[in-house]
Each structure stands twice: as C-alpha cells, then as structure tokens.
Structure 1
Amino acid sequence: MKFDVVDPSDEQAILDEEDTGQEREPEEAPLPPGVHPRLDRASRRMHTRIRADLSILGESLNRLHEHIEIARSRKADEAPAASPPTNFRADAFSRPPTP
C-alpha cells in the first residue's frame, strides 16, 4: 500500500472543494477542520434515527411493564391458597448447619 502524506491545510482545501455549499444549512455551526460535511450529515441522521428508535423502544418497554404488572396483580388475586405437595421437601433448599 502506498500513502501520500499531505499537509492538513491541503487536505482541508480538497474537502472544501468537494463541498457545494448547499449540503449544510447556513445556521449550523462550522465544522471542525478535517470533518467532511457528508460525514457530519450522516452522523446527524444516524443520531436522529437512534433517538427515534430508542423512544419507540422505551414506549414499548413501558407498555410491556404495564402488562406484566397487570398480569401479576391478577395472578396474585386469583391464586388459590394451596398446601405444598406431599413430595415437597423444604429442607432440600437450605444449607446444612455448620458444625
């Protein structure tokens, strides 16, 4: 592979030539040196899409949480009081005493 070493000012001049001026809105803050306007636009679009997706995900998770809480409350209210089965051994779940 071969790479050309360029001065940062030359690189910025090349990037400025590629910029048509209509790609960015005039009220936006100027881009830092070396940042291509297309990369900036793509980054802003991706950020907007991620925020939208996260808000939709948050709403879905809130609805799911509400449904789970409703199901838990119904299940607790409707659960009959039953004795444990005859083969249930409560001591099987505890640790043996230490000597």
Structure 2
Amino acid sequence: MSAWGAGSRVSVTSSAQLNIDSTQNDPVGGDISLDGNAILIKTHEAIYYWDASRSHDYIALLQQPGDKVPYIHEHQGESVCWDATDSGYYTLGEGKNEPLYHYVRV
C-alpha cells in the first residue's frame, strides 16, 4: 500500500518551476486525477492541464507547458479539484455564498 491514503505522513522533497504564465504569486491550487492520469494547476487567472497518461513523472511533466482549460474568473478563486469520476473538475472561490462551478472534461 502506498503512503498516500494510508494514514502516514508524506514528505514532498522535489520541487519544480512551473511552465505557466502568471502576473501574481501563483499557483494557488491543484489536483491530480483519481487515476493519476491528469493534473490541474490553478492560478488566479487560469487553470492549466497536463496529460499524465503516458508518464506519472509529475515533476518532469510540470516542466512542460500546460494547456489552458475553461475557467470562469472567480473572486478569490483559489481551489480546483477533479470530480469523483474524473469526468470534470470543480472550482470554488473564497467567501460567503460563492458559486461552485463544474466543468465537463472534453
């Protein structure tokens, strides 16, 4: 069993310079799909996608340019996650009564 989800502490020691465009102190959020085959990284202005189906070397993948995917700008939008079936992703801005957006994966 891997340390992920096993109740064990996991130390992340690698770091990467992301190949994204940003004018702010980004990224602010990210997620790896349940099957491990896709990565989302969120900045204040955009969401970037990487296809990891050929390699789960995430650090190497993040050195390559990501593809921008649909995103409706949110006030203090700092979260992104895959849905439970990896068929789309959610975003949510900080604050009271903020809308939860769902984007269908194409």
Question: TM-score surpassing 0.5?
Answer: no
Query: Which structure: greater helix fraction?
Result: 1
Query: Which structure: greater strand fraction?
Result: 2
Q: Give the structure-1-normalised TM-score.
A: 0.25
